[in-house]
Amino acid sequence: MELHEYSLLELSERLRRREISAIELTEAVIQQIERLEPQIQAYITLTPDLAREMARQAQARLDAGEWNPLLGIPVAIKDNISTRGIRTTCASRILQNYIPPYDATVTARLKQAGAVILGKTNMDEFAMGSSTEYSAFHPTRNPRDLSRVPGGSSGGSAAAVAAHMAIAALGSDTGGSIRQPAAYCGVVGLKPTYGRVSRYGLIAYASSLDQIGPMTKTVADCALMMNVIAGKDPLDATSVEVPVPDYREALRADVQGLRLGVPREFFAQGVQPEVAQTVRRAIDQLADAGAIVEETSIPMVEYGLPIYYILAPAECSSNLARYDGVRYGLRVGAELGHIGMMERTRAEGFGDEVIQRIMIGTYALSAGYYDAYYLKAQKARTLLRQEFDRAMAQFDALLCPTAPTPAFKIGELISDPLAMKLMDVLTIPVNLTGLPALSVPCGSVDGLPVGLQIIGKPFDEPTVLRIGYTYEQLTRQ
């Protein structure tokens, strides 16, 4: 194996034993980027000079006897997470030249741990999409098949990890944007419980749904990333004061006696039969390992998509009102007066998908429609959460597919917005309920990766990771 192909855990141990240097490792990953980035285009902004300097600093800390699992590890960061001094665009023309004056809390924690920042990864504009085709700059290609999408909106992070152009990456998940691309690219992706990881410095799409999480090569790597980024943050009022466990302790291959529910609705919503069969085989392997597996039902799941596509655009309409050409970002038509400048700036700065969601959200919040749409969707969200609560009272976790199909071809769904949105039908309910969920590779259909989604109780990421780790070990034997 080449150096850049090893997992975070393996590389961390090799750095600790002084078998390799952080400088050597970073150079190997940069060379991999130089080889593959022209075809895959996983990044928007690359920072090789910064990465080399951070690697030198990490090596100095290692030479002084310091060590932690992320010290000297090259990572990538999704381009909607603020990075001080590094361009952060949200893959939008409206922020094309924006350079944040501060770090997101997760960025600061990675830096403090000594991780090496390789650059900012491509995404659907403002995280609105399921394929990374809605980027204002370029689409990203799936390393498993260059004719196909990597998923979205964190498609750049998933592709970078899958192509070994980063050892690990951060993504954000509003309706499946970590888990769905992880499934499409055959990597591991975790959406933590809402409030487990600080959102300070995450450029908001839908504030009650957004959550930052890790995208990695293995479940163990996911645990190591969570140990760094999880925890209460005084700068984020929505982060929760809940003790953070050592997630490495969850890494034991044992599901004996765990009660795992299989909601039948997650196998009905347009799920390709071959995908369903692949996921059921994975569930059977966990049952053979000692888990107690039972079918269950969560009827409100079928309303997840309409609930989401009222609430998320409504929050997007509010959050994106700040891009008015006055304070930062693109400014066009200053000679047209304040209103004219705002209209021209937003028309030229936002892509079609973003404009569509802003308009839908503005409509849902407008006088005369608020009660009919937004308020009703919030009530339905509460009913959905109550059904999940009842299911979680019976089971330790729920198992289902991550996405209804494997990765589709670039351009295949771009003109069919409903079909595109249906690619998130199995992940959206988790964001609406705030629960943690992990996607782990569980086989393939026609040579394309398929993901097993493991949904846990609030703040019970350790059980989710334990199940994912057990499945990973079972399939590696």
- Residue 409 pairs with which residues in a beta bridge? 148
Backbone torsions φ then ψ of 146, nearest 5 degrees = -65, -10
d(CA 189, CA 194): 15
Catalytic residue, from 21, 92, 131, 153: name it. 153
pLDDT for 88: 98
The answer to whether 233 touches 25, Cβ cutoff 8 Å, is: no
d(CA 361, CA 313): 4
130 belongs to the catalytic site:
no
pLDDT for 417: 87
End-to-end CA distance of the chain: 19
d(CA 65, CA 70): 14
Compute the CA torsion angle 186, 421, 315, 75 (nearest 10 deg).
20
Burial (CB < 10 A; 0-12, 13-18, 19+), residue 295, is exposed
Tokens of 289: 């390992």
How far is residue 17 from each of residues 2, 14, 69, 165, 386, measured CA to CA in Å?
Answer: 18, 5, 12, 23, 49
Q: How many CA atoms lie within 13 A of 270 on its CB side?
A: 16
Catalytic residue, from 177, 198, 317, 439: name it. 177
Kindly list the structural domains of the chain, giving each domain's residue range(s) and its CATH number in brackets, ordered by start: 3-256+400-476 (3.90.1300.10), 303-375 (no CATH)
Backbone torsions φ then ψ of 286, nearest 5 degrees = -70, -35
d(CA 406, CA 418): 17
208 belongs to the catalytic site:
no
d(CA 276, CA 403): 10
The residue among 128, 92, 152 whose CA lies nearest residue 356 is 128
Tens digit of pLDDT per residue, the chain (477 long)? 999 999 999 999 999 999 999 999 999 999 999 999 999 999 999 999 999 999 999 999 999 999 999 999 999 999 999 999 999 999 999 999 999 999 999 999 999 999 999 999 999 999 999 999 999 999 999 999 999 999 999 999 999 999 999 999 999 999 999 999 999 999 999 999 999 999 999 999 999 999 999 999 999 999 999 999 999 999 999 999 999 999 999 999 999 999 999 999 999 879 999 999 999 999 999 999 999 999 999 999 999 999 999 999 999 999 999 999 888 889 988 888 889 989 889 999 999 999 999 999 999 999 889 999 999 999 999 999 999 999 999 999 999 999 999 999 999 999 998 899 999 999 999 999 999 999 999 999 999 999 999 999 999 999 999 999 999 999 985
239 belongs to the catalytic site:
no
pLDDT for 255: 98
pLDDT for 477: 57
- What is the 3-class SS of the chain, one letter each residue? CCHHHCCHHHHHHHHHCCCCCHHHHHHHHHHHHHHHHHHHCCEEEECHHHHHHHHHHHHHHHHCCCCCCCCCCEEEEECCECCCCCCCCCCCHHHCCCCCCCCCHHHHHHHHHCCEEEEEECCCHHHCCCCCCCCCCCCCCECCECCECCCCCCHHHHHHHHCCCCCEEEEECCCCCCHHHHHHHCCEEEECCCCCECCCCECCCCCCCCCEEEEECCHHHHHHHHHHHECCCCCCCCCCCCCCCCHHHHCCCCCCCCEEEEEHHHHCCCCCHHHHHHHHHHHHHHHHCCCEEEEECCHHHHHHHHHHHHHHHHHHHHHHHHCCCCCCCCCCCHHHHHHHHHHHHHHHHCCHHHHHHHHHHHHHHCCCCHHHHHHHHHHHHHHHHHHHHHHHHHCCEEEEECCCCCCCECCCCCCCHHHHHHHHCCCHHHHHHCCCEEEEEEEEECCEEEEEEEEECCCCHHHHHHHHHHHHHHHHC
Catalytic residue, from 12, 78, 92, 198: name it. 78
